[in-house]
């Protein structure tokens, strides 16, 4: 087990621009506000979605693209460092016009219709991601 002592610090609430790439816009905000450790959540709607599923056997992501509108039921994730830059690791749950929901790993290519977010800074030693041999994922390193 790996743990780190942290304090929840100040944060930001806002709205992302219509047509923005959801993951890229949130990452850019982390860069602008110098957030290296944090948490993120969001609600709203997307015009297009791109989500991933990690196959634990092959250690590869499969990405799916959906070219229609969806409600964001929940987006939750964290901010840490990968290769010295802020990286958002987030999962998203979406719903279609009939109330069916699905979700996965938020990927670039998810386009905002309307999105309200909360980005909270966490104070503590920055967590850095590195390759984990057992899972094949870029996980927090001790």
> What pLDDT does 82 receive?
95
Q: Angle CA(43)–CA(49)–CA(50) in degrees, nearest 5?
A: 120
Grade residue 1 by pLDDT with cuts at 50, 70 and 90.
confident
Percent of the chain with pLDDT over 70: 100
Domain map of the chain by residue range?
11-122
User: Tell me: the pLDDT tens digits for 64-111?
Assistant: 999 999 999 999 999 999 999 999 999 999 999 999 999 999 999 999
Average pLDDT for the chain: 96
As a whole number of angstroms, the distance between CA 61 and CA 55 comes to 6
> What pLDDT does 126 receive?
83
Which one, of 61, 42, 62, 30, lies nearest residue 115 by Cα? 42
Q: Which CATH class is domain 11-122?
A: alpha beta
> What pLDDT does 61 receive?
96
Q: What is the dihedral of CA 6, 133, 64, 115, to 10 degrees?
A: 10
> What pLDDT does 2 receive?
78
pLDDT at 4 over 90: no
Grade residue 3 by pLDDT with cuts at 50, 70 and 90.
confident
pLDDT at 142 over 80: no
User: How far is CA 40 from its chain centroid?
Assistant: 7
Please give the residue that has the higher pLDDT: either 127 or 39: 39
């Amino acid at each position: 087990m790996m743990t780190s002592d942290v304090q929840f610090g100040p944060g930001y609430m806002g709205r992302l621009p219509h047509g923005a790439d959801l993951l890229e816009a949130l990452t850019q905000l982390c860069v602008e506000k110098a957030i290296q450790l944090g948490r993120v959540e969001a609600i709203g709607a997307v015009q297009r979605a791109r989500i991933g599923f990690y196959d634990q056997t092959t250690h590869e992501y499969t990405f799916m693209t959906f070219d229609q509108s969806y409600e964001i039921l929940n987006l939750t994730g964290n901010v840490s460092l990968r290769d010295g830059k802020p990286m958002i690791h987030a999962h998203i749950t979406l719903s279609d016009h009939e109330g069916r929901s699905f979700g996965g790993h938020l990927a670039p290519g998810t386009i905002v219709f309307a999105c309200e977010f909360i980005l909270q800074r966490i104070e503590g030693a920055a967590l850095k991601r590195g390759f984990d041999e057992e899972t094949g994922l870029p996980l927090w390193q001790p």
